[in-house]
Each structure stands twice: as C-alpha cells, then as structure tokens.
C-alpha cells in the first residue's frame, strides 16, 4: 500500500494554545457522544414516562441518525463559505437547542422532532472540528490531532453515558438532555474563546459538491458503512446478551459497558499514532482486528471475565476513526469539509446496517451472541471494499504515470 500524501495546508496558530482549542473541540465531542449513546440507555425510562411502547420510542434513535445522515452534507455544502470557528459555534448552538428542546418535549411527536434537530449538526461538527484540529497540527501529526477531537466521543462511553443513565434514574430522563444541552452551550462558549479564526478559503457550495464526483470518496464511505457495522451489531444487543447469556446482574452492566468505552479511548489514541504513519495500513489492521474480536464474542459471552476483555478489544476497533477521517480529507481534494462530515453519516449508516443484520440473525432463531460472527462478516466485507479502493488508487497512479511518460517510438512493419 502506498503512503498517502500529506496536505500542505499552512499551520494555524491558536491564540491561547492548541491544547485549549483541542479541549474545547473535544468537549463538544463529549456532549455529542453522551447525547447519542445515552439515548439508547434511557430508552425504557422515556417509553414508560411517555406511555409509549419500546419499539415506537426507538424511533427517537432513528430520528437522530436521520438528522446526522442528512445534516452533515447539507450544512457543509450550503454553509461552505462560513468561517470555521463561526460554523462550529453555530453547530454546537443548534445541538444545544435540540437537546434543550428534547428536555422540554411534552410528548412523543415533539421529542422525535427534537431528536432529529439534535442530530443535524452532529456530522458537520465533527467534520469541521477535524479540519480545524488538523490545521493547528504539523502535517506529520494531523491524524493524532484528529484523534484528540474524537477523544471526547470515546470518553462519553466511559463517563458520560453512565452519568446520564444515573441522572435519568434519579431525576428523570429530561435531566439527561438538559445536561447535554448545557454541555453544548459550554462548548460554544469555549470555541468562541479558544479556537482560532480560520477562513473558509476558496470553499464554495459548488466546490464542495465536487466531492460527489470523486470515486475514492464513495468507496471509502462504503467501506465504513459496511466494515464497521459489526461494532454496532454487537453494541445494539450487548445489554440483553450480558443479562441473558453471561448472566450478569444489572448492577454490573455499567462496568462492562465502560470496558468497551475504555477500549474505544485507547484505540482512538493508538489509531491516531498509527494513522500518521499509514492511513491504509491502519484501516486494514483495524478491520482485521474487528473481524477477530467480533468472532470471539460468540465464545467469550459465556463468562464475565472473558466477555469484559472481549468488549475492551471490540472497543479498540474504533482505532479506525482518525485514519478514515484523514483519508477522506486526503482523497477529497478541495472539498474536504463535506468529505470529513460525510464520514459520520457513513458511521450512522454502519450503525443502522449493523443493528439490522444483528436483529435479522436473532429473528431467524440464532442466539444473542451470534451478533459477534455477524459483525465479523461485515468487517470482512469492509476489507474487500478496502481492497477495491487500493486497486483503484494504484490504477489511477499508474495511469497518471503513463500520461507523463514519453511516448514510445513507433515500431516499423516487417516485410
């Protein structure tokens, strides 16, 4: 695999240091991660309070994901000329508003709408934040800078989600969305103070739309949508698996789920370091790791100690995030903003695909722990798509080399 070229974007200096700027961006990731994943853990509480069935209440998860999928490209395309700091403040203000509206929602319909609104800025925020973090880092450490932004998202699974679950049990589910909304407001204020001004440059809606003409962008997004659906195949059904197969007590659930969150945090940091050395090899390694770790879930689920280690290993598979985020920025040319945001649309497609495939296996009589091998098959599918991506890239490089090579002399015809 070829080593990817690193962008020659000029280094941006943060007025109060890149550390505080990255912290502000990471707190935004913490807010988004807590709001997204805690919605799953408080679902039964919300359904009971609003006198709605659990499947119907699950639509608030789907509404949020729908907001992410559509919001990411639309915002980054139509607001392409907006300076990056102003866009981040606007996005986090919208996210805060969506969660505060969720906390105040009087009923089912209003809550569904509020969750859709909260999902709209999700992908665009991470996409723009990744570009800002990369602009403040030297070229050879861009992926590590991106991993620090995503750190808030992974830490949310260690501290944010358990805290939000505890709040919902003690003070009602509305308190969860209230706290997430206040985190959003805090992020907007910190971004306005610590993140440097970064102009949109030559970005425009027409230029950003050009990303959809780049085959490598589509192939990379497909690889994410397929290859990392396996993580969500397990995550969606991990609670009933732990309760019914592993036979753990409900009190042990937060600890075991936190093991996956710790794995995500470690994987994110390690993945950023590896991605600065080779994006493609890091993505390949993460997909192979996922295939092995997810396959092991079928066997590890019978014992609490083995499943705890396995959940940590599955969480480490998130190491792909910095590599995929920076690869999309590399292959997007002059349409980096929308490409970076589309990464999170792809992960939400992976979320939907993984949950659907895992549910399909269970509905056809397979055991709960079968979600592991199902997820492993999705990871193998991602490896196949990555192979196609590398093959297309190599053919493109060979074609470009032939265009610049001198024309061969014409051969004479024999008598």
| pLDDT at position 191 | 92
CB 238 within 8 A of CB 397: no
Identify the CA nearest to 192 among candidates 104, 119, 62, 90. Answer: 90
| pLDDT at position 98 | 96
Per-residue model confidence as pLDDT tens digits over 147-189: 777 778 778 878 887 788 778 878 888 999 999 999 999 999 9
Query: Average pLDDT, whole number, for the chain?
Result: 82
| pLDDT at position 86 | 92
Mean pLDDT of 225-242: 84
Question: What confidence category does residue 305 fall into, taking pLDDT thresholds of 50, 70 and 90?
Answer: very high
Helix (H) or strand (E) holding 208: helix 205-209
Per-residue model confidence as pLDDT tens digits over 247-304: 988 778 778 888 888 898 898 888 888 888 888 899 999 999 999 999 999 999 999 9
Of the ranges 75-79, 118-122, 129-133, 248-252, which is most confident?
118-122
- CA dihedral sign, ordered 55, 58, 60, 66: negative
Mean pLDDT of 117-132: 88
**Are domains 14-203 and 210-400 of this chain identical in fold?**
yes
pLDDT surpassing 80 at residue 28 = yes
Domain ranges of the chain: 14-203, 210-400
| pLDDT at position 407 | 44
pLDDT surpassing 90 at residue 229 = no
pLDDT surpassing 80 at residue 138 = no
Cα(128)–Cα(246) distance, rounded to whole angstroms? Answer: 41
DSSP secondary structure letter of residue 303: S
Q: Using alpha carbons, list the distances in angstroms from residue 363 to 11, 98, 264, 360.
A: 52, 34, 29, 5
Q: Which CATH architecture has domain 14-203?
A: Up-down Bundle (1.20)
The CATH number, out of the four listed (1.20.1250.20, 3.30.360.10, 1.10.490.130, 3.30.530.20), of the domain defined by the range 210-400: 1.20.1250.20
CB 311 within 8 A of CB 260: yes
| pLDDT at position 16 | 64
Cα(383)–Cα(387) distance, rounded to whole angstroms? Answer: 6
- CA dihedral sign, ordered 56, 61, 65, 66: positive
């Amino acid at each position: 695999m070829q080593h990817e070229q690193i962008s020659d974007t000029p280094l941006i200096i943060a007025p109060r240091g890149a550390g505080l700027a990255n912290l502000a961006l990471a707190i935004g990731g913490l807010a988004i991660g807590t709001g997204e994943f805690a919605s799953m853990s408080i679902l039964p509480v919300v359904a009971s309070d609003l006198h709605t069935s659990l499947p119907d209440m699950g639509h608030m998860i789907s509404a949020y994901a729908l907001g992410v999928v559509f919001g990411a490209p639309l915002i980054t395309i139509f607001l392409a000329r907006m300076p990056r700091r102003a866009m981040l403040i606007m996005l986090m203000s919208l996210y805060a508003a969506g969660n505060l509206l969720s906390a105040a929602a009087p009923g089912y319909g209003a809550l569904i709408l509020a969750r859709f609104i909260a999902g709209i800025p999700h992908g665009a925020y991470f996409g723009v934040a990744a570009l800002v973090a990369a602009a403040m880092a030297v070229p050879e450490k861009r992926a590590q800078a991106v991993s620090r932004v995503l750190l808030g998202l992974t830490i949310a699974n260690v501290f944010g989600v358990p805290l939000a679950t505890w709040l919902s049990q003690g003070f009602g589910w509305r308190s969860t969305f209230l706290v997430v909304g206040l985190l959003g407001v805090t992020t907007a204020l910190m971004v306005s103070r610590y993140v440097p001004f970064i102009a949109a440059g030559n970005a425009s809606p027409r230029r950003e739309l050009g990303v959809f003409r780049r085959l490598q962008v589509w192939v990379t997004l497909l690889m994410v949508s397929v290859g990392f659906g396996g993580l969500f195949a397990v995550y969606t059904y991990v609670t009933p698996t732990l309760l019914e197969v592993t036979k753990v007590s409900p009190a042990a659930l937060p600890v075991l789920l936190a093991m996956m969150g710790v794995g995500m945090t470690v994987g994110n940091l390690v993945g950023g370091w590896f991605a600065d050395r080779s994006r493609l090899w890091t993505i390949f390694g993460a997909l192979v790791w996922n295939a092995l770790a997810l396959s092991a879930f079928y066997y590890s689920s019978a014992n609490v100690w083995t499943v705890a280690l396995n959940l940590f290993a599955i969480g480490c598979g998130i190491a792909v995030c910095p590599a995929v985020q920076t690869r999309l920025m590399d292959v997007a040319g002059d349409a980096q903003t929308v490409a970076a945001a589309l990464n999170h649309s792809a992960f939400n497609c992976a979320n939907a695909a993984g949950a659907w495939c895992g549910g399909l296996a269970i509905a056809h009589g397979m055991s709960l722990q079968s979600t592991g091998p199902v997820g492993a098959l999705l990871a193998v599918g991602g490896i196949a798509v990555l192979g196609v991506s590398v093959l297309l890239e190599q053919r493109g490089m060979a074609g470009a080399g032939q265009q610049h090579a001198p024309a061969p002399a014409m051969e004479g015809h024999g008598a």
